A and B are shown apart, each in its own frame.
Chain A
């Protein structure tokens, strides 16, 4: 009981966004969601005051697509701190170290909410400080440092202050959407970032962006009109079309992921329910294949992202690391990527060029590549399963909590005794197994999608998250509209 009493005065006073009183009309909800989205896009385009030229590449590297935000902007941190804080909470909650009963006890609910916010703020500092002060990820402007009190050091603190405000803003924008809008802010920011990249990967042309990153549609128009020469179709041209800039493989993978996720969303075990009082009122409790949703996957990826972040910081600080730990190579974009050592094996494979050794785009030996893919697969499949279990436990979706909810809503499983523990026994036959299978499957899918490559380099996880979050939002909107049309339904849903 110790920590609760000590922390209570701080945690209960964390500022929260007001709750709407009564029902928010659907149009208003859309309004709030659109407003926050516009603000988000605006802030990802506002670069930090005091930021100098010659940036050392994105700190988040390949993880930027799932962590949202933008390098060098106010939203430098994106949803990184929220995700990292969530990992800590999931681990603490999953191991039942917190001792908080979030299902029944209102005081514990308040404490949990406060603890969440507090942890996010701690993580903003823990990830923001090294980003500003270590390495050259956010170099201070020399012109400003001359006149600014405190010189370069002062400018760096000023940049950290802006990043800090940006991180806190993301947290509160999420809260506004969760309480007043549709879905959750975090989901929305992920979709926003990934969709932007997807569109970019489809249509960007050489005069808008990087000539190396021509979108798939302009590239193929170029081939048809004869502007682009891919070489002999039976030789190197074939390789370029499938794996290279032709992106045929990436297109197939992207479409496949869409199909698989939407299909997997509909695969479920349905447990029949009937009302104890109203005879004939029947329902079904669905245990979906992706019961824990795809969100736990972001936790595993964030864990990997933090390991790579540590590697980049160490590399930038030490200059040269021991070879067993990590060997880094500057890429053309100025980003240091690991090419050997422990950090190489811990880095997830992102596109075909990184593992298809026969294409000659990687200098690593096949055994090294196989080890790296093996580590990534193990990490994602086992990590996915573990975090799915924790997720189900901490969000009160486990057998015990669900049984209570079903019982309290006056439902029973026909043919079984009317008892919480009986419902729990039946649910225990399905929920844990489905959770583990679903979590491992999503992990496997993410790795496979990454290996095959995706349009716009959005990464398998980014794509999985986007499709499943969009599907959830679609369901929520459908439900919302149903209630608007039939006000009676609202009473039934509660």
Chain B
């Protein structure tokens, strides 16, 4: 840490930026759902491939 205030000031995020503000209408997804869906989807495709 070079200085005590650089952490809050430098906001170089990734390519996609996320802010604190959120709309009340937005659909919220639990992070576990994302991972579970990804894993299940992968398995589904694997199983389908095995059937052919």
Contacts and interface: CB of A to CB of B under 8 A. Distances in A.
A binds B: yes
Interface of A: 12-19, 32, 35-36, 39, 42-43, 46-49, 74, 79, 82-83, 86, 102, 106-107, 109-110, 112-113, 116, 120, 141, 143-144, 162, 165, 169, 171-176, 178-180, 183-187, 268, 270, 273, 283-286, 292-293, 295, 298, 395-397, 402, 405-406, 409, 411, 472, 478-479, 482, 492-494
Contacts of B34: 17, 169, 172-173, 175-176
Contacts of A482: 1
Interface string B8-50: 1111111111111111011111110011011101100110110
Contacts of B10: 397
Contacts of B28: 15-18
Contacts, number: 171
Contacts of A298: 15
A493 B11 contact: no
Contacts of B9: 285, 402, 405-406, 409
B42 A16 contact: no
Contact of B23 (A12, A19, A494): A12
Nearest to B8: A494
Q: Which of B10, B15, B22, B49 neighbours the largest number of chain A CB atoms within 10 Å of its CB?
A: B15
Contacts of B41: 74, 165, 169
Given A162-B45, A482-B1, A295 B14 contact: yes
B14 A116 contact: no
A174 B23 contact: no
Given A13-B26, A169-B38, 17 more contacts: A13-B25, A17-B34, A18-B29, A46-B46, A106-B21, A116-B17, A120-B16, A169-B41, A171-B16, A179-B31, A184-B16, A286-B3, A396-B11, A397-B10, A402-B9, A478-B1, A493-B4
A13 B23 CA distance: 8
A144 B22 CA distance: 45
25 contacts: A17-B29, A17-B31, A19-B22, A39-B35, A42-B39, A46-B45, A47-B49, A74-B42, A110-B22, A113-B17, A169-B37, A169-B41, A174-B14, A179-B18, A186-B14, A186-B16, A273-B5, A283-B3, A283-B4, A285-B3, A285-B5, A395-B13, A397-B10, A397-B12, A479-B7
B8 to A, nearest CB: 5
Contacts of A19: 20, 22
B15 A110 contact: no
**Chain B, interface size: which category?**
35 or more
Contact of B30 (A18, A82, A83, A284): A18
A332 to B, nearest CB: 28
B6 A286 contact: yes
Nearest to B42: A46
Interface of B: 1-23, 25-31, 34-35, 37-39, 41-42, 45-46, 48-49, 52
Nearest to A292: B12
Contact of B16 (A162, A174, A183, A268): A174
A143 B51 CA distance: 12
Contacts of A174: 14, 16
Contacts of A268: 2
A396 B19 CA distance: 12
B5 A283 contact: yes
Contacts of A102: 17, 19
A49 B48 contact: yes
Q: Which 7 pairs across A and B sit closest by C-beta, in order of nearness?
A: A184-B14, A106-B21, A109-B19, A12-B23, A15-B27, A109-B21, A284-B3
